Amino acid sequence: MTSGISRVFWIPPFAVGVAGAAAAEVSLGLLLYVPGGFLGALTIILCVEMAALAAGLWSAPREEAPPWSGVRRAWFLLLLTYVAGAVTAAGWEVLGGLASSRLYRGLGLAFLGALPLYGTGLVLGASGSGEGDWSVRTGVPAVIGAAVGFAMVGLGRSGLRIAPFSYVAGVVVIAMGSLVQSRILAVREDQWREWAERGTAEDGPPGRAPQVPSGSASEALQEHHDPPASPGMPQ
């Protein structure tokens, strides 16, 4: 079971990288139609998108034990941002382009680029996205996935003509990645409970097993999930 998970750990960050790169490239293509010049528009868009990615990484959930609900919420939020991006891209023709006014450019930048990259940062920065060295288990597959996403949009020759397609494809890729991630988290939760039963971290990965000095698994899990009693409440 564990060996099977170790062979697919790269799929979730890779999927996120593919979708994030596609969203960044399509949003650039749709938003660069401005009379103020290419370089200025490119600079603003890239700064906003990278700031959104950094904000997602900064605010990502940091959970060391089950049920890793924050990681699952991050995946759900990322999926919603791509649905919103697909709707915005579909309305591109109706609005006559997203560069016709500052309001439309701002909304387009938010829904096409900033929000998807913020969600990307949330998922990639979550501690539950992988074990061990983050740069190897999460960062490397995500960057390789980003390269694949750029190639898909740039070489497909239909990224801007059928702009919603890239976001719909992103929804599919993210859904697949989230399913793999859910499976990985389920296996890790089983391992976590086994380590809790043993009451030692010797058999688990460094920093991952719960430190339970004594007692049964049920007592350890109860201690983890129950909130601390407030002053004045009966123990």
First to last CA, the chain: 40
Q: Is the pLDDT of residue 97 over 60?
A: yes
Distance CA 26, CA 166 (A): 7
What is the length of the chain?
Answer: 235
Q: What is the mean pLDDT of residues 168-196?
A: 88
* pLDDT at residue 174, rounded to an integer: 93
How many percent of the chain have pLDDT more than 70? 68
Distance CA 53, CA 170 (A): 17
Q: Give the chain's domains with CATH numbers.
A: 2-191 (1.20.1250)
Which of 92-101, 107-116, 200-209 has the lowest average pLDDT? 200-209
* pLDDT at residue 116, rounded to an integer: 94
* pLDDT at residue 199, rounded to an integer: 66
Q: Is the pLDDT of residue 60 over 80?
A: yes
- pLDDT band for 213, please (50, 70, 90 cuts): very low
In the block, residue with structure tokens 């740069």: 135
- pLDDT band for 100, please (50, 70, 90 cuts): low
- Of the candidates 162, 151, 178, the one whose C-alpha atom is nearest the C-alpha of residue 21 is 151
* pTM: predicted TM-score of the whole model, two decimal places: 0.70
Q: Is the pLDDT of residue 184 over 50?
A: yes
What are the tens digits of pLDDT across the range 8-42? 777 888 888 888 888 887 777 777 665 555 656 77
Integer-rounded Cα radius of gyration of the chain: 21
Q: Is the pLDDT of residue 81 over 90?
A: yes
Q: What is the mean pLDDT of residues 65-87?
A: 90
Taking residue 82's Cβ as centre, other Cβ atoms within 10 Å add up to 28
